[in-house]
Amino acid sequence: MRFIYLDTSAALKLFKEESESAALKAWLSTQGSATVLTCDLTRTEVRRALHAAHAGPDVAAEAEEWLDESALVRMPPLLFDRAGQLSPGNRLRSLDALHLAAAQGLGRALLSFVVYDKGLVESARELGLPVACPGAG
């Protein structure tokens, strides 16, 4: 089984129309049998971002449906420990480190780590993760 991991910056583009939204959706539709997943953290981050953006009830309902149906990387204490040990000396933010640790834990089954945050893209590449940013310039 192969996985495509969406961090929050990518997942939000599925519900909030942003410049990369159409490209991301089109790219995902070409990925065949790969399973799209995220981690528990995204559930909170997506909800908070949609609240902050004053998203309408239809958008919120669409996001809830996606979150309920998405495959999830669970976040046991060991994942938090791994996140804290990633990229010493790097200015990696804590929540970004959690996404990286969750994606890295998928090992060779990770087909793509989809992310749009520039700092997180850089850190993911430093760790050797297969990064994808469909539609990003």
pLDDT of residue 89: 66
pLDDT confidence of 137, banded at 50, 70, 90? confident
Half-sphere exposure of 105 (CA within 13 A, CB side): 20
Q: Percentage of residues in the chain with pLDDT exceeding 70?
A: 99
The CATH class that applies to domain 3-132 reads alpha beta
User: Rounded mean pLDDT of 65-83?
Assistant: 93
Task: Please say whether the beta carbons of 65 and 34 come within 8 A.
Answer: no
Task: Please say whether the beta carbons of 22 and 57 come within 8 A.
Answer: no
- Measured CA angle at 42 (ends 95, 23), to 5 deg: 105
What rounded mean pLDDT belongs to the chain?
94
Tell me the domain boundaries of the chain.
Answer: 3-132
Q: Which residue has the higher pLDDT, 91 or 82?
A: 82
* pLDDT higher than threshold 80 for residue 108: yes
Rounded to two decimals, the pTM is: 0.94
User: Rounded mean pLDDT of 55-66?
Assistant: 95
pLDDT of residue 28: 97
